[in-house]
Amino acid sequence: MPGRLIVFKIGSSTLVDEKGALDRPFIRSLCDQVVALREAGERVVVVSSGAAAAGRDALGMAERPSDIATLQACAAVGQTALTEAYAEVLRERGVACGQVLLTRRDVVDREGYLNARNTIERLLDLGCVPVVNENDTVSVAEFTFGDNDMLGAIVSGLVGADLYVIMSDVDGLYTANPSEDPAAELIPLVTEVDHSISAMAGGSSSSFGTGGMSSKVRAARAMMAAGIPTVICEGRRPNVLCEVASGASVGTRFQPPADGAHEHGRKLWIGLAEVVRGTLRLDEGATSAVVERGASILPVGVTHVDGAFASGEVVNVTNPEGELIGRGVVRYSSDDMQRVRGLKLDVIARFLGDEAAVPAVHRDELLVF
What pLDDT digit, counting tens, does each position of 141-193 carry?
Answer: 443 445 678 889 889 988 889 999 999 888 899 988 877 888 889 999 999 88
Mark whether 173 and 144 lie in a shared domain.
Answer: yes
The answer to whether residue 267 sits within a structural domain is: no
Mark whether 78 and 221 lie in a shared domain.
Answer: yes
Query: Which pLDDT band holds residue 1 (cuts at 50, 70, 90)?
Result: low
Q: Mean of the per-residue pLDDT values for the chain?
A: 85
Three-state SS annotation for the chain: CCCCEEEEEECHHHHECCCCCECHHHHHHHHHHHHHHHHCCCEEEEEECCHHHHHHHHCCCCCCCCCHHHHHHHHHHHHHHHHHHHHHHHHHCCCCEEEEEECHHHHHCHHHHHHHHHHHHHHHHCCCEEEEEECCCCCCHHHCCCCHHHHHHHHHHHHCCCEEEEEECCCCCECCCCCCCCCCCECCEECCCCHHHHHHCCCCCCCCCCCCHHHHHHHHHHHHHCCCCEEEEECCCCCHHHHHHCCCCCCEEECCCCCCCCCCCHHHHHHHHCCEEEEEEECHHHHHHHHHHCCCECHHHEEEEEECCCCCCEEEEECCCCCEEEEEECCCCHHHHHHHCCCCHHHHHHHHCHHHCCCCECHHHEEEC
Q: Is the pLDDT higher at 196 or at 142?
A: 196
The answer to whether residue 259 sits within a structural domain is: no
The answer to whether residue 260 sits within a structural domain is: no
What pLDDT does residue 209 have?
Answer: 37
Mark whether 183 and 136 lie in a shared domain.
Answer: yes
Instruction: Pick the closest to residue 97 from 106, 84, 110, 115 (CA basis).
Output: 84
Mark whether 88 and 194 lie in a shared domain.
Answer: yes
Q: How do strand 230-234 and strand 252-254 relate by DSSP bridges?
A: antiparallel
The answer to whether residue 214 sits within a structural domain is: yes
What pLDDT does residue 352 have?
Answer: 80
The answer to whether residue 161 sits within a structural domain is: yes
Cα–Cα distance for residue pair 28/33, rounded to 1 Å: 9
Query: Which pLDDT band holds residue 213 (cuts at 50, 70, 90)?
Result: confident
How many domains are there within the chain? 2
What pLDDT does residue 225 have?
Answer: 82
Mark whether 246 and 289 lie in a shared domain.
Answer: no
User: What is the CATH number for 62?
Assistant: 3.40.1160.10
The answer to whether residue 262 sits within a structural domain is: no
Does the pLDDT value for residue 233 go beyond 60?
yes
Boundary of a domain, candidates 223, 254, 285 = 254
Mark whether 232 and 294 lie in a shared domain.
Answer: no
Q: Are 186 and 170 in contact (CB under 8 A)?
A: no
Arithmetic mean of pLDDT, 307-336: 92
Mark whether 301 and 249 lie in a shared domain.
Answer: no
What pLDDT does residue 273 have?
Answer: 62
What pLDDT does residue 262 have?
Answer: 64
Of 70-79, 100-109, 201-210, the range with the lowest mean pLDDT is 201-210
Cα-based angle 117, 53, 114 (whole degrees, multiple of 5): 10
Mark whether 41 and 114 lie in a shared domain.
Answer: yes
Q: Are 277 and 314 in contact (CB under 8 A)?
A: yes
Mark whether 214 and 287 lie in a shared domain.
Answer: no
* 261-318 pLDDT per residue, tens: 566 666 777 777 667 899 999 999 999 999 888 899 999 999 999 999 999 888 999 9
* CB-count burial class (<10 Å; 0-12, 13-18, 19+) for 36: middle
Query: Which pLDDT band holds residue 241 (cuts at 50, 70, 90)?
Result: very high
User: What is the CATH number for 357?
Assistant: 2.30.130.10
Arithmetic mean of pLDDT, 130-145: 63
The answer to whether residue 325 sits within a structural domain is: yes
The answer to whether residue 216 sits within a structural domain is: yes
What pLDDT does residue 264 have?
Answer: 64
Mark whether 250 and 281 lie in a shared domain.
Answer: no
What pLDDT does residue 154 have?
Answer: 86
Mark whether 162 and 120 lie in a shared domain.
Answer: yes
Identify the domain containing residue 287 by its residue range. Answer: 275-368
Mark whether 245 and 328 lie in a shared domain.
Answer: no
| Range from 145-154, 192-201, 235-244, 355-364 that averages highest in pLDDT | 235-244
